Chain A
Amino acid sequence: MADVSERIKSAIESNRILIFMKGNRNFPMCGFSAATVEIFDSLGVPYETIDVLADQEVREGIKRYSNWPTIPQVFINGKFIGGCDIVRELYETGELEPMVRAALAEGASRG
């Protein structure tokens, strides 16, 4: 099996919008994870999630990978955007949607 940071890196690179969370979009297992997917649902954009509760290696590995001690963690276009508070703040200031649209548009044009 590949090294956990390699697995994390490849997951981040192969998804336009990726959320490391507790549980999944239908059954979030933590209020902060729930609030985060709710924001992306309200934008109506496609995103992928990884359930860190299902993989202890990823749960610890992602914290080292991004130097960030908490879950959820959101990556857009391979870049770490932040956790629940930052996503909420970017959503409230109106910065999140254009960021997300630009990332998705870039993905589409690349095919």
Chain B
Amino acid sequence: MDPKQIEELIAKGIPGARVEVRDYTGGGDHFEAVVVSEAFEGKTLVERHQAVYNALGDAMRARVHALTLKTLTPAQYAKRR
């Protein structure tokens, strides 16, 4: 699977999210994603990750072996830089 496809799926499932996905083994099934969204405000980490997993739907179960996730609100993202 292409990292771009994953970015698109996440962005579609979480409108307005800023998404960056990297294939860290080059094998097309181990990914690292940073997702920044206002929708994460007031949500627990579990809820944020679930939102991303839901956005990926069947792709998560069938085609992605591993996805390392960072989920941030815009404020958290700004603080990180």
- Please indicate whether A and B come from the same complex rather than being unrelated chains: yes
Number of interface residues of A (CB under 8 A): 14
Residues of A within 8 A of B45 (CB): 82, 86, 89-90
Complex: chain B residue closest to A83, CB-CB: B49
Residues of A within 8 A of B70 (CB): 85
Q: Is the CB of A82 within 8 A of B46?
A: yes
* 8 A Cβ contacts from B7-33 to A: none
Residues of B within 8 A of A46 (CB): none
Q: A82-B45, A86-B45 are in contact. Are A70 and B67 (CB under 8 A)?
A: yes
Residues of A within 8 A of B61 (CB): 69
Q: Interface residues of B toward A: which range? A: 10 to 19
Q: Is B60 an interface residue (CB 8 A)?
A: yes
Q: Is the CB of B67 within 8 A of A68?
A: no
CA distance A81 to B60 in the complex (A): 20
Q: Is the CB of B60 within 8 A of A85?
A: no
Q: Is the CB of A32 within 8 A of B69?
A: no
User: Could you mark each residue 57-77 of chain B with 1 if its beta carbon is under 8 Å from any beta carbon of chain A, else 0?
Assistant: 000110000111110000000
Q: Is the CB of B69 within 8 A of A69?
A: no
Q: Is B50 an interface residue (CB 8 A)?
A: yes
Q: Is the CB of B49 within 8 A of A85?
A: yes
Residues of B within 8 A of A82 (CB): 45-46, 49
Which B residues are within 8 Å of any A CB, using their own CB?
45-46, 49-50, 53, 60-61, 66-70
Shortest beta-carbon contacts, A-B, top 5 = A86-B45, A85-B69, A69-B60, A82-B46, A69-B53
Which A residues are within 8 Å of any B CB, using their own CB?
32, 67-70, 80-86, 89-90
